[in-house]
Structure 1
Amino acid sequence: MSIPTPTKERKKVIRTASLSGSLYVLLEGQLRFLNQYYDILAIGSDPDKWYIEKLAEREGIRSNEIIIERKIHIFKDIVSLYKLYLLFRSEKPFMVHSITPKAGLLTMTAAYFAGVPKRLHTFTGLIFPTKTGLMKHLLIFFDKIICRFATHIYPEGNGVKKDLLAYNVTKKPLKVIANGNVNGIDLNVYNPKAFSQTENILLRKQIGIEEKDMLFLFIGRLVNDKGVNELVNAFCEIVKTYTHAKLVMVGSHEGEFDLLPPSTWDKINSQPAIFCAGHQDNVRPFLAASDIFVFPSYREGFPNVVLEAGAMELPSIVTDINGSNEIIKDRTNGLIIPSKDELALFNAMQLMITDNALRTKMATNARPMIASRFKRSEVWSAILKEYQAIDSTV
């Protein structure tokens, strides 16, 4: 793997995440773009020993692995903190920029003590609003540390910004870049015209979905926090009346801690109208072949998958949470329902099935509303502009 040689013209920027897979998935193409202007070094954990090398190869950047545990592990966290400190002292970047909670905590702390001039953190989502008791206070404390050591703080969306302000996490300026989201959407890649009707019908038949069926699609981790219990329960009621309704679930529960209860798995496995497709590296064929996207998550920062669904001309059912309620306008390009509300989800799914005119209107609006606000090239340009503005103050 060839590693670009840093030049005098390009200042050094280090991007970090707890998992290198997060950089690989969330920042596709962005690091290559920024590498034209800055010498980009990517840092993250790589349990599978795959992402970090593929990331460097795809983006044309340098990369290094430092283990960063996602969960609290005091001894390992101290080791990671020290390794980051040594790396920053050795590389001497003018800027570090972290995403994901644990990477933010360790990166901002290590960079502060290593004397890195500019320390940026993007809050891609907040965990504490859905927690209670001691854990909630602990998570708020950690986010306060991130903000204490960061010089620039970027909520991924206005919902995240409001939560940071409401919980008094910081008094520093908070800036949402562009209209939110860390990477925007590539409208050439997520384009329904890239898939023919024949291809869509073939995929549906392969998984037992007839052309006349109304296909709901869920994409995400199969865990409680994504609203999977409510989705499965609501759909099992829907299919009693609307026998042509089908549900495809794309995602996995492997390696997760927030496991679904056995009762939910029993319903999934016993309901012939539900098809579990497992993890898919490419979700576009499923989006192209579906009729409605449903995403009843409890919490998000700014969900890429809702952007992707909209770009593929799917009307969406989402919960009234950060990010989702910034992408979807109720009854314009989708439906917004309360979180953790099984009856509201049932009613929304039923409305999608029965009101053809509303569903068609929302589908027609879906792609233009994404294209006008979240085009990838415009997000990249906004990030570069931010970097250059910071650069000018060094």
Structure 2
Amino acid sequence: MSKKVLHVLSVSFSIKYFIGNQFKYFKTKGVEFHVACSYSDELMQLSEEYGFKPFPIPVKRAIDPLQDIKSIYRLATYIKKEKFDIVITHSPKGGLIGGIASFFAGTPKRIYFRHGLVFETLTGIKQQLLILVEKLNSATSHYVVNVSPSIKRKSEKLGLNKPHKNIVLGKGTCNGVDVHRFTYRDGFKENDVRVVGFVGRISKDKGIAELIQAWKILKRANAKIKLLLVGPIDERDPIENDLLEYINQETSIDFAGEVSDVTYYYNKMDLFVLPSFREGFPTVTLEASASRLPVITSRATGCIDSIIENRTGKFVEINGVDIAQAIQSYLDNPSLMVEHGINGESFVKNHFSEEIVYPLIEKHVFD
């Protein structure tokens, strides 16, 4: 399978999560990878680590007509020169720039990865503009990989593209999980402090305000509990200042911020919570399950596909009372935590491991 493939993304931060070990896996099968992305030192470091050829180009998340036209022209010229067999685009803006450029360059196979529907939590003109962008990205692509079944259903309901273009890789995800990275504690002592964990952007969309409301309820009834928050503060969707101040000052909350390796932090948790308002497919819930943690999450798009209810975790409404009740039900039943954690590990290994997902990518993307 000798192929020349270009990935187009907005920011280098996404490379590890959207593609990751695919570079190494498919390189052994004769695939040559290039990545077009906004310049950063990280882009250059990852190109050496994963063995792809970088093509730094401005891909701004905000709409900038003049810069966007320049980027499309430069990228189309590069695509024509390199004669790529496949161009794969990611995120709304990467899809816009890469989709138009590869369309005009006449790339024989163009694929858009729909990682989520950003407009779900927006209203008005911004929402309509992003819906239009999704439709345009789909129109310039031969196929659209929806990263979860619920994203596919929502896309078809909204008519974002012709249904025959839609693909879902197995039960979902864009890249699978390297299950070998994740380990788990061998049980816990009866008198241990219970640690409730969260991994993700500290933002409104992730339900942080509602999680903190739940925490205020829980800490009144439980002396030995900790909340461990792992992730960067999101400047594009910031939480209120007084909420951030509470997080930083509350002694029962440990705020780790952005970290380079989350595996260590999953091992400090007893259960995992993601009360998100929207996702594409939340990789963090799969990582938590791979670490044998029971998962509490919402029924939002993407999240609803990431657990088996009452087997690997529990669904909640996104409000403080419901989240607190679900957490308390696990705290009161340690054996259920263990049972759901073990079930979750099997769920991820059987459906979302790289060994399962990569052959599906080979079939649907590279064939």
> In which range does the TM-score fall when normalised by the shorter chain?
over 0.9
Aligned 8 A contact 2:196 2:227 in 1: yes
Aligned 8 A contact 2:38 2:56 in 1: yes
Q: 1:191 deviation in Å? A: 2.3
**Structure-to-structure mapping, 1:246-261, within 5 angstroms:** 246-253=226-233, 256-261=235-240
- In 2, the alpha carbon distance for the partners of 1:377 and 1:357 equals 30
State the partner residue of 2:12: 20
Distance of aligned partners of 1:59 and 1:290 in 2 relative to their CA distance in 1, 3 Å threshold = same
Say whether residues 1:79 and 2:70 are aligned partners.
yes
Distance of aligned partners of 1:189 and 1:352 in 2 relative to their CA distance in 1, 3 Å threshold = same
**Residue type of the alignment partner of 1:220:** G
Equivalent of residue 385 in structure 1, options 351, 363, 367: 363
Aligned 8 A contact 2:350 2:356 in 1: no
Structure 2 unaligned blocks of 5 or more: none
Aligned 8 A contact 1:223 1:259 in 2: yes
Equivalent of residue 99 in structure 1, options 90, 93, 105: 90
Equivalent of residue 152 in structure 1, options 133, 143, 168: 143
- Report which stretch shifted further, 157-166 or 315-324: 315-324
Aligned with 2:46: secondary structure? helix
Structure 1 unaligned blocks of 5 or more: 1-8, 202-209, 390-394
- In 2, the alpha carbon distance for the partners of 1:346 and 1:172 equals 40
Q: 1:122 deviation in Å? A: 0.8
Say whether residues 1:241 and 2:221 are aligned partners.
yes
- In 2, the alpha carbon distance for the partners of 1:100 and 1:244 equals 41
Aligned with 1:221: secondary structure? coil
Q: 1:169 deviation in Å? A: 1.0
Aligned with 1:182: secondary structure? coil
Say whether residues 1:70 and 2:22 are aligned partners.
no
State the partner residue of 1:205: none
Q: 1:196 deviation in Å? A: 7.8
**Residue type of the alignment partner of 1:283:** V
- In 1, the alpha carbon distance for the partners of 2:292 and 2:186 equals 14
1:17-41 CA-to-partner distances (Å, cap 9, x unmatched) read 1112211333221112222322211
- Report which stretch shifted further, 245-254 or 9-18: 9-18
- Report which stretch shifted further, 128-137 or 297-306: 128-137
- In 2, the alpha carbon distance for the partners of 1:388 and 1:260 equals 41
**Structure-to-structure mapping, 1:155-304, within 5 angstroms:** 155-173=146-164, 174-192=166-184, 212-253=192-233, 256-304=235-283
- In 2, the alpha carbon distance for the partners of 1:266 and 1:60 equals 42
Calculate the TM-score normalised by the size of structure 2.
0.95
- Superposition RMSD in Å: 1.9
**Structure-to-structure mapping, 1:42-81, within 5 angstroms:** 42-46=35-39, 49-81=40-72
Aligned 8 A contact 2:145 2:167 in 1: yes
Q: Number of residue pairs matched? A: 365
State the partner residue of 2:325: 347
**Residue type of the alignment partner of 1:24:** K
Aligned with 1:224: secondary structure? coil
1:185-235 CA-to-partner distances (Å, cap 9, x unmatched) read 11211122xx688xx99xxxxxxxx96111001111111111111111210
State the partner residue of 1:376: 354
Aligned with 2:205: secondary structure? helix
- In 1, the alpha carbon distance for the partners of 2:175 and 2:246 equals 36
Aligned 8 A contact 2:11 2:38 in 1: yes
**Residue type of the alignment partner of 1:149:** T
Aligned 8 A contact 1:52 1:64 in 2: no
- In 2, the alpha carbon distance for the partners of 1:110 and 1:64 equals 14
Aligned with 1:15: secondary structure? strand
- In 1, the alpha carbon distance for the partners of 2:301 and 2:254 equals 28
Say whether residues 1:31 and 2:23 are aligned partners.
yes
Calculate the TM-score normalised by the size of structure 1.
0.88
1:89-116 CA-to-partner distances (Å, cap 9, x unmatched) read 2111121001111101111111111111
- In 1, the alpha carbon distance for the partners of 2:257 and 2:366 equals 41
Q: 1:355 deviation in Å? A: 2.5
Distance of aligned partners of 1:351 and 1:196 in 2 relative to their CA distance in 1, 3 Å threshold = closer
**Residue type of the alignment partner of 2:210:** E
Distance of aligned partners of 1:24 and 1:363 in 2 relative to their CA distance in 1, 3 Å threshold = closer
Q: 1:179 deviation in Å? A: 2.0
Aligned 8 A contact 2:293 2:338 in 1: no
1:246-273 CA-to-partner distances (Å, cap 9, x unmatched) read 101011116x211110121232133110
**Residue type of the alignment partner of 1:264:** L
- In 1, the alpha carbon distance for the partners of 2:54 and 2:72 equals 18
- In 2, the alpha carbon distance for the partners of 1:180 and 1:364 equals 21
Distance of aligned partners of 1:317 and 1:252 in 2 relative to their CA distance in 1, 3 Å threshold = same
- In 1, the alpha carbon distance for the partners of 2:284 and 2:105 equals 37
Distance of aligned partners of 1:151 and 1:234 in 2 relative to their CA distance in 1, 3 Å threshold = same
- In 2, the alpha carbon distance for the partners of 1:26 and 1:115 equals 24
- In 1, the alpha carbon distance for the partners of 2:253 and 2:4 equals 49
